[in-house]
Structure 1
Amino acid sequence: MAVTQKEIQYSVGIEDLYICMMATEPADAVPTFNEDIYKQTNITDLTISTTSTNFTKWASNKKIINITKNTAFGLAFNLAGLNREVKDKIFGKTRTKGISFETAAAKEYPKFAVGVIFPLNDGTKLARWYPRCTVAPVEESWKTQNEEMTVDDIAYTITADPLLFNDNTVAELDTGAAEAAGVTVEDFLKQVVFDESQIETLFPTTP
């Protein structure tokens, strides 16, 4: 056997946030998204958690099956603000002459795709689309300013669920992978990527 030592990669930060509203989501067909993709330079930090279940099977005194199923991702963003138009869209607010109303009735928040970029130490980047997201209500805090001006982050909790069409929860591009074949982060984030069938159409192989 040959022993090979490879360079390690690690995250050196997080870049812009991308949001694209979902237009339709049939259960038996591909979802559609609005043409507008909103890019925001506002992420202070992001914590990604999983909602997973484990199944194990023992036989003949041995663990013969160990299966993990991840049903959703939790995206906990701290954002240094958010554009008012984007914020109204993800919370489903409709304004008349600038005025909106909240009721106590049950409601379902709009679905949208979230894109994020993670630069790595070797100059490559990871880019991800979470295609089926919803936001949770946020806690707000307003306070007076003093001589030492501060801009507090706002915490947004977003849940990335699997798509009805194909069960996909995230699509990821690694620009450092040998198979990336020149696909750039900019190419990847021009549209929401959510299914393997899109790859050859969006990123055709050049001779």
Structure 2
Amino acid sequence: MADTPKKGDGIQYDVGVDDLLIVFKTKKEDSTTDATYESQVYRLPNVKKMGVKGNGKAVEIHASSKLFAKVSQETQHELSLTHIGMPINIYDKMTGNTLKKGVAFAKSTPHEFPEFALGVIANRSDDVKDAIWYPSCSLDPATTMDYETAEEVFKENDGSLAITANGLRNSSILYSHFNSAREIVDGLTYETFIAQPVFSEAQLDTLTVPKA
């Protein structure tokens, strides 16, 4: 007798990318404490495409003339965001540039970019929601910009941002991923997952909705 299909056994196809989430850090994490974030979650309906490129690699360990283990590690994702536009106030917070009288000043001296959590929401088939949080991101230091002339017939000119996502300094968490079709969610909902950056297993207990 065939087993009854479980939730999550079905094939989910991609319906489309949804909104972008940005939350800025108020304090960076260190080796023993968690990062703290602003309460403001910027939810932007501006995403055209999000590309992800990791730096993962594997090292083979041999012992007794045999393959003993294959150890994999990934410490960073390069995120390429194509968007229809970015609010200037949010972009200024990402760059950390000095502002005065509506003018942003970018310096050539060494400096750190502000860090923020970045979330991406995707829609899957059968009303499945898929969301991911990168809790420690910053803009790529190599700026790229394109300015094009206006033409007689309107042509959409998309913007782009290069963002680097790193593992947290205290836990090495690179990202957290929620999918509403998973068999075990224990009361955690899509709405509670996207309400704030999710960066630790212990944090999940505070996000779970108590069972009646």
- For the aligned pair, the TM-score class normalised by the smaller chain equals over 0.9
State the match for 1:203 in structure 2: 208
**Poorly superposed stretches of 4+, deviation over 6 Å:** 1-5
The share of aligned pairs that are identical, in percent, is 29
Q: Deviations over 1:138-181 (max 9, x none)?
A: 31111221122122112211111011121101011111112124
Residue identity opposite 2:168 in structure 1: L
Instruction: Please report the TM-score for the alignment, with normalisation by the length of structure 2.
Output: 0.90
State the match for 1:19 in structure 2: 22
Residue identity opposite 1:40 in structure 2: L
Structure 2: which 5+ runs fail to align? Answer: none
Residue identity opposite 1:163 in structure 2: L
Distance 1:3 1:138 in 2: 54
How well do the aligned residues superpose, as a CA RMSD in angstroms?
A: 1.9
> SS where residue 86 of structure 1 aligns?
helix
Q: Deviations over 1:117-144 (max 9, x none)?
A: 1111222011111000011143111122
Mean alpha-carbon deviation: is it higher for 173-182 or for 187-196? Answer: 173-182
Instruction: Please report the TM-score for the alignment, with normalisation by the length of structure 1.
Output: 0.92
After superposition, residues 22-41 of structure 1 pair within 5 angstroms as 22-27=25-30, 28-41=32-45
- Indicate which of 96, 99, 108 corresponds to 1:95: 99
Distance 2:143 2:109 in 1: 17
After superposition, residues 15-94 of structure 1 pair within 5 angstroms as 15-27=18-30, 28-94=32-98
Indicate whether 1:165 and 2:170 are aligned: yes
Residue identity opposite 1:86 in structure 2: I
Distance 1:98 1:7 in 2: 52
Per the TM alignment, residue 63 of structure 1 is displaced from its structure 2 partner at its CA by 2.1
Give the paired residue count.
207
The answer to whether the 8 Å contact 1:138/1:155 transfers is no
Distance change >3 Å, CA 2–CA 58, structure 1 → 2: farther
Q: Deviations over 1:21-71 (max 9, x none)?
A: 011123111110011111111111111111112110234443221111011
- Indicate which of 128, 141, 144 corresponds to 1:139: 144
The answer to whether the 8 Å contact 2:187/2:210 transfers is no
Mean alpha-carbon deviation: is it higher for 178-187 or for 119-128? Answer: 178-187
State the match for 2:182 in structure 1: 177
The answer to whether the 8 Å contact 1:26/1:164 transfers is yes
Structure 1: which 5+ runs fail to align? Answer: none
> SS where residue 184 of structure 2 aligns?
helix
